[in-house]
């Protein structure tokens, strides 16, 4: 079999979609993180990398980071983008996903979509002959997870000896983090209330990947078991976009999973605190933790820019 070089990895991604962390191999993920680090260190070297390329950015949910980093990122690579909000296209209602795909593939070079059902992003990718990138669905947030592992690798030396912990809701962010941990051979403890476990399909897929990579992904209902001696504690909102009506009901169930000084005291003294943001201060995390020197949440937010530039470059490159 032909040896996979860094150059061929990047070329292999040309024209592909990125809907799930599982779409990329461990080698491809490592190569993207490496490219993102190069882009972060030497942004001017890449300023014509996607000269004249155009991205359509479809947002059916609100966004600060994803919208800003995709818009700025494609510009920094020499391309441009167009925002399509629900008021513009009303996906699936004003026009079918199929028809939107068939229009856009003739007009732009790539699509980023943030939507509700993962099947909508899959449908768009199936019908559009151009790369489609998942900017968050109810099932996954795959750009977030790669930016997060880039952040861990910037702050710690290697992944092999680290114990990572995700504590909170078994949601889209947790799913992508689980798959990325499995792909990268990391050890990740996931603590959620039983009722809010990550999807079994994701945990089972992670277990299969882990057999090949040597990763350990464990679910527990006990937040202290996850936090104990951890090198990183990650949390996210207890009620994701689209679940706002459940927020009140969820609050007492999730209270024992709040990342506060007491829970954080079980982790290593130099443990990182991570959050994809937006944070609900006083709910999933207290001010003293998110504002502490252990917190790398704004570095994570910045790294969305660099990792998405690397992803867009790999998928859309000439
Ligand atoms: N973390 C993240 O995706 O943030 P936005 O919802 O603001 O895009
Ligand atoms: N789980 C959150 C992530 C926001 C970036 C949500 O889906 O709302």
Q: Kindly give the distance from the C-alpha atom of residue 213 to the centroid of ligand 2, in angstroms, as a whole number.
A: 28
Name the pLDDT band for 4 (thresholds 50, 70, 90). Answer: very low
How many Å lie between the centroid of ligand 1 and the Cα of residue 228?
Answer: 28
Greater confidence (109 vs 93) lies with 109
Residue 32 tokens, joined: 């993207």
Does the C-beta of 237 come closer than 6 Å to ligand 2? yes
Is there a domain that residue 283 lies in? yes
pLDDT tens, residue by residue, 282-305:
999 999 999 999 999 999 999 999
Question: Looking at the structure, do residues 40 and 134 belong to the same domain, yes or no?
Answer: yes
C-alpha 69 – ligand 1 centre gap (Å) = 10
pLDDT band at 7 (very low <50, low <70, confident <90, very high): low
- Same domain as 169, residue 128: no
Pick from 100, 113, 126, 142: which is nearest to 55 by CA?
113
My answer on whether 119 and 161 are in the same domain is no
Probe target for ligand 1 pocket from 57, 58, 59, 63, with the most ligand atoms within 8 Å of CB: 63
Q: How far is CA 54 from the centre of its chain?
A: 22
277 and 311 share a domain?
Answer: no
Same-domain status, 199 and 291? yes
Q: Show the tokens assigned to 293.
A: 């020197």
116-173 residue pLDDT tens: 999 999 999 999 999 999 999 999 999 999 999 999 999 999 999 999 999 999 999 9
Cα 268 from Cα 228, distance rounded (Å): 8
Q: Which protein residue's CA is at the shortest distance from atom 1 of ligand 2?
A: 240
Give the CATH number of the domain where residue 90 resides: 3.40.50.1370
Is the domain of 84 the same as that of 199?
no
CA–CA separation, 117 and 315 (whole Å): 23
Residues with CB under 6 A from ligand 1: 63-66, 136, 144, 276-278
Positions marked catalytic: 114, 141, 144, 236, 276, 304
Do 158 and 296 fall within a single domain? yes
* Domain of 273, in residue numbers: 142-300
User: Do 196 and 296 sit in the same domain of this protein?
Assistant: yes
Q: How many domains does the chain have?
A: 2
Specify the ligand 2 atom closest to the Cα of 240. 8
11 — pLDDT class (breaks 50, 70, 90): confident
Kindly tell me if the per-residue pLDDT of 6 is higher than 80.
no
If phi > 0 it is left, if psi is from -120 to 50 it is alpha, else beta; for residue 187 that is beta
Ligand 1, atom 4: closest residue by C-alpha: 65
For residue 198, say if its preceding peptide bond is cis, omega within 30 degrees of 0. Answer: no
The predicted-structure confidence for 17-49, as pLDDT tens digits, reads as follows 999 999 999 999 999 999 999 999 999 999 999
């Amino acid at each position: 079999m032909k040896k996979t070089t860094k150059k061929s990895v990047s070329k292999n991604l040309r024209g592909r979609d990125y809907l799930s962390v599982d779409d990329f191999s461990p080698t491809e993920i490592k190569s993207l993180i490496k490219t993102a680090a190069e882009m972060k260190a030497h942004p001017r070297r890449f300023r014509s990398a996607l000269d004249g390329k155009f991205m359509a950015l479809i947002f059916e949910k609100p966004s600060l980071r994803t919208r800003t980093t995709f818009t700025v990122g494609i510009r920094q690579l020499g391309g441009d983008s167009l925002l399509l909000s629900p008021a513009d296209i009303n996906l699936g209602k004003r026009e079918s996903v199929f028809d939107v795909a068939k229009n856009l593939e003739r007009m732009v070079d790539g699509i980023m979509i943030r939507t509700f059902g993962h099947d909508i992003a899959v449908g768009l990718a199936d019908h559009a002959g151009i790369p489609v990138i998942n900017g968050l669905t109810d099932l996954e947030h795959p750009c977030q997870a790669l930016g997060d592992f880039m952040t861990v690798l910037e702050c710690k030396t290697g992944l092999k000896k680290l114990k990572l912990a995700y504590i909170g809701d078994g949601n889209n962010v947790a799913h992508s983090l689980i798959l990325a941990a499995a792909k990268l051979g990391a050890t990740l403890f996931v603590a959620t209330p039983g009722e809010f476990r990550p999807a079994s399909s994701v945990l089972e897929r992670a277990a299969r990947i882990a057999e090949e990579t040597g990763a350990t992904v464990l679910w527990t209902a006990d937040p202290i078991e996850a936090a104990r001696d951890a090198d990183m504690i990650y949390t996210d909102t207890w009620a994701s976009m689209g679940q706002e009506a459940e927020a009140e009901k969820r609050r007492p169930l999730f209270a024992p999973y709040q990342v506060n000084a007491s829970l954080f005291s079980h982790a290593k003294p130099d443990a990182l605190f991570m959050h994809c943001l937006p944070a609900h201060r006083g709910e999933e995390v207290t001010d003293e933790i998110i504002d502490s020197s252990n917190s790398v949440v704004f570095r994570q937010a910045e790294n969305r820019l660099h990792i998405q530039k690397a992803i867009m470059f790999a998928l859309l490159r000439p």
